Structure 1
Amino acid sequence: MYISREDFEAWMERVMYRFDKQDKTLDKMSKRRNMLDGELLLDNQDLCQLLHISKRTLQRYRSTGELPFQTVYQKTYYKESDVHTFIRENFNKKRNGRKPTENP
């Protein structure tokens, strides 16, 4: 099956238009961030990926009060500053809990 050059170019213009439209939509989505009082909010998925932990581990941190959170419309969010504090505190716990390495 052969198509004319004009038909091919018309199809390619439509395809490129759709790509451009999709690209603009993705740009808008990536720029839209959840904020509270000018501070970035992270959701469960963001935090699980950032900390390389499971949803259950994240739930345990919430339940024990180790990680403060906000609930907005049944969705859980974490302030960026609270996450930084949590990381700092837990890093120091691990660091201080380690045994000093012995050098031969």
Structure 2
Amino acid sequence: MELLTRQNFESWMQKVLERLDRQDELLLSMKAKEKEPSLSESVRLFDNQDLCMLLQISKRSLQRYRSKGALFFKVLGKKT
């Protein structure tokens, strides 16, 4: 076991403080990310039936818009 000297203690404390500073920066960055709205909060998703009713179009027209790239879609489970 090494003898604890003032220099060893100061070196050890410096390492501890550096680690605490890194943890503080990490926590602040995580807190800032919490304030940003997530994708699910900023984008509303509709299923086929709801979107057809909202746009007053048929399911085939909706599929045509998707195929042309006019509408973004995502498959969740078996729903489009």
Q: TM-score band, normalised by the shorter chain?
A: 0.3 to 0.5
Looking at secondary structure, tell me which structure has more strand per residue: 1
Structure that is richer in helix per residue: 2
Q: Scaled by the length of structure 2, what TM-score is found? A: 0.47
Larger-Rg structure: 2
